[in-house]
């Protein structure tokens, strides 16, 4: 058992990191699919992330020293005899009492392989439904694990360092079946997706948390677009040897941020006047009377424009010179705008206060009303 203990700590730590990376997409999907957030389902997603990492850690890690493993064993061939574990248990526990037999390595290995896939059955049954479908997915996942082990990480490792065993496939599939059978009772406290989604189009009050989530989504989209453009430029330059004309370095460094700003915040200048992040969480700015592009540009520029300017100035100045000061001031504007969501009427924020806009649930607008 001591040999399995380090994977637990690794799984928790790496699983929580994975959950942090997926948190914003998960929250957006919940907002769009259910019309609101479900804290219990977010909790289950975090558990699923930890479990996914644990499944990899317990079946494929650690990677031992190739010189030691491959020289000593010459690689492990697959074990293709079904239920060979019965003979292993009988052989290793001959003469032992029941308690010692249950605590033996051969018995615990089988039990562990069953238990390892019980959470798979629980989680997948609630996600996709159906005992048969969940069991087949457990079988497929276990088969993928065994093939990965038998092919030494598909040839990435010099020799198989884990035994590909048909008995593991049987035990894992049994665990998935048990989890699927227990899912309705064990996870009865978890709201069903169908129940949550029935009133997804019902307007709800605008909260600071929704406003901030929309801002975070905008920030993630902006960062992703800018990073992708920088990566593409670097790849093209590396493959072609092409370089920018002299004197255009500053423009080149600022261009990814400027393009990302247009992609991320440009939709706020359309008739709906909502950024990508606001659309993701069912938010929309409205004015008491029709306004032109100038008023929309003012509202967008307070946060979106400042964010774009901050990033472009940072990229050009590389942390020094007058542009660094401009970027610092723009950052201050963004911080004030984020905090102002808490202190302004209807959580309209600094941008709404300056442009005269309120922020409403877009579903209320589609229904012909408003909710402040």
Question: Cα(129)–Cα(73) distance, rounded to whole angstroms?
Answer: 43
C-alpha torsion 249→312→296→286, nearest 10: 150
| SS3 assignment, position 358 | strand
Q: What is the pLDDT of residue 24?
A: 94
pTM, two decimals, is 0.84
Q: What is the pLDDT of residue 1?
A: 46
- pLDDT digits (tens), the chain, 372 positions: 445 678 889 999 999 999 999 999 999 999 999 999 999 999 999 999 999 999 999 999 888 888 888 876 555 678 899 999 999 999 998 988 889 999 998 999 999 999 999 999 999 999 888 999 999 999 999 999 999 999 989 988 988 888 899 999 999 999 999 999 999 999 999 998 889 999 999 999 999 999 999 999 999 999 999 999 999 988 988 888 777 666 667 788 899 999 999 999 999 988 889 999 999 999 999 999 988 888 999 999 989 998 998 888 888 877 667 777 777 888 888 899 999 999 999 999 999 999 999 999 999 876 554 443
Nearest residue to 123 via CA among 75, 184, 78, 70: 184
Q: What is the pLDDT of residue 368?
A: 57
Torsions phi, psi for 76 (to 5 deg): -100, 130
Question: Cα(197)–Cα(214) distance, rounded to whole angstroms?
Answer: 20
Question: Cα(148)–Cα(162) distance, rounded to whole angstroms?
Answer: 9
Q: What is the pLDDT of residue 322?
A: 77
- 131 burial class (0-12, 13-18, 19+ CB within 10 angstroms)? middle
Question: Cα(317)–Cα(329) distance, rounded to whole angstroms?
Answer: 14
Nearest residue to 89 via CA among 72, 76, 105: 105
User: What tokens appear for 164 in the block?
Assistant: 């590909």
Q: What is the pLDDT of residue 314?
A: 84
Q: Which residue has the tokens 């948190």?
A: 23
Q: What is the pLDDT of residue 316?
A: 85
Q: What is the pLDDT of residue 370?
A: 43
Question: Cα(205)–Cα(72) distance, rounded to whole angstroms?
Answer: 66
Question: Cα(364)–Cα(372) distance, rounded to whole angstroms?
Answer: 10
Q: What is the pLDDT of residue 16?
A: 96
Q: What is the pLDDT of residue 129?
A: 85
| Helix, strand, coil percentages in the chain from 3-state DSSP, rounded to 5 | 70, 5, 25
| CB-based contact 225:61 (threshold 8 Å) | no
User: What tokens appear for 71 in the block?
Assistant: 């020289």
Q: How many CA atoms lie within 13 A of 322 on its CB side?
A: 0
């Amino acid at each position: 058992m001591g040999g399995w203990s380090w994977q637990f700590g690794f799984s928790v730590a790496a699983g929580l990191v994975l959950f942090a990376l997926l948190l914003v997409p998960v929250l957006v999907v919940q907002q769009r699919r259910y019309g609101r957030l479900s804290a219990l389902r977010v909790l289950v997603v975090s558990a699923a992330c930890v479990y996914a990492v644990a499944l990899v850690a317990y079946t494929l890690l650690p990677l031992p020293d190739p010189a030691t493993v491959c020289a000593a064993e010459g690689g492990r061939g697959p074990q293709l005899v079904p239920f060979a574990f019965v003979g292993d248990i009988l052989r290793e526990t001959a003469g032992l009492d029941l308690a010692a037999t249950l605590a033996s390595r051969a018995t615990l290995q089988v039990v562990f392989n069953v238990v390892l896939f019980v959470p798979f059955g629980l989680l997948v049954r609630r996600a996709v439904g159906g005992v048969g479908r969940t069991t087949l997915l457990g079988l497929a996942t276990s088969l993928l694990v065994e093939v990965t082990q038998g092919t030494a990480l598909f040839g990435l490792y010099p020799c198989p360092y884990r035994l590909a065993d048909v008995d593991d496939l049987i035990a894992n599939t049994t665990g998935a079946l048990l989890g699927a059978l227990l899912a309705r009772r064990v996870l009865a406290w978890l709201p069903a997706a169908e129940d949550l989604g029935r009133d997804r189009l019902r307007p709800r009050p605008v909260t600071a948390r929704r406003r901030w989530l929309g801002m975070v989504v905008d920030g993630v989209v902006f960062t992703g677009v800018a990073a992708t453009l920088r990566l593409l430029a670097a790849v093209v330059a590396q493959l072609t040897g092409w370089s920018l004309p002299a004197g255009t370095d500053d423009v080149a460094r600022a261009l990814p941020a400027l393009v990302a700003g247009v992609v991320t915040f440009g939709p706020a200048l359309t008739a709906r006047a909502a950024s990508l992040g606001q659309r993701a969480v069912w938010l929309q700015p409205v004015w008491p009377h029709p306004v032109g592009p100038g008023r929309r540009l003012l509202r967008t520029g307070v946060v979106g424009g400042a964010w774009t300017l901050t990033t472009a100035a940072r990229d050009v100045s590389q942390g020094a010179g007058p542009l660094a000061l401009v970027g610092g001031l723009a950052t201050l504007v963004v911080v004030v705008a984020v905090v102002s969501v808490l202190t302004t009427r209807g959580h309209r924020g600094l941008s709404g206060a300056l442009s005269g806009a309120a922020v409403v649930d877009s579903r209320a607008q589609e229904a012909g009303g408003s909710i402040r």
